[in-house]
């Protein structure tokens, strides 16, 4: 499986530009999100859509008075 996180240079750039604690927090969040997206892709189930028949193909609806 490929690495789902940021490269060392990307992490370092975040830490230098916005601070070490905020950069680490954002890098960890991005890594967690990437791992979750990968998990969702792996477990994705294809769903067949059921399309209703067109209205003109149905029998006409006749409402009778009571």
Show pLDDT as tens, one digit a residue, over the chain (66 residues). 455 678 999 989 998 999 999 999 999 999 999 999 999 999 987 777 777 766 665 666 667 776
Whats the size of the chain, residue-wise?
66
The answer to the question of residue 34 being in a domain is yes
| Domain range enclosing 33 | 1-55
The answer to the question of residue 13 being in a domain is yes
Instruction: State the total domains in the chain.
Output: 1
The answer to the question of residue 50 being in a domain is yes
The answer to the question of residue 63 being in a domain is no
Helix boundaries (H) for the chain: 8-18, 20-42
For the whole model, what pTM was predicted? Answer: 0.58
The answer to the question of residue 66 being in a domain is no
């Amino acid at each position: 499986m490929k690495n789902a996180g940021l490269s060392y240079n990307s992490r370092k750039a975040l830490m230098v530009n916005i601070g070490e604690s905020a950069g680490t927090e954002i890098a960890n969040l991005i890594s967690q999100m990437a791992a979750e997206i990968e998990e969702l892709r792996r477990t994705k189930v294809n769903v067949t859509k059921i399309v209703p028949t067109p209205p003109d193909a149905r029998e006409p609806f006749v409402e009778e008075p009571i």
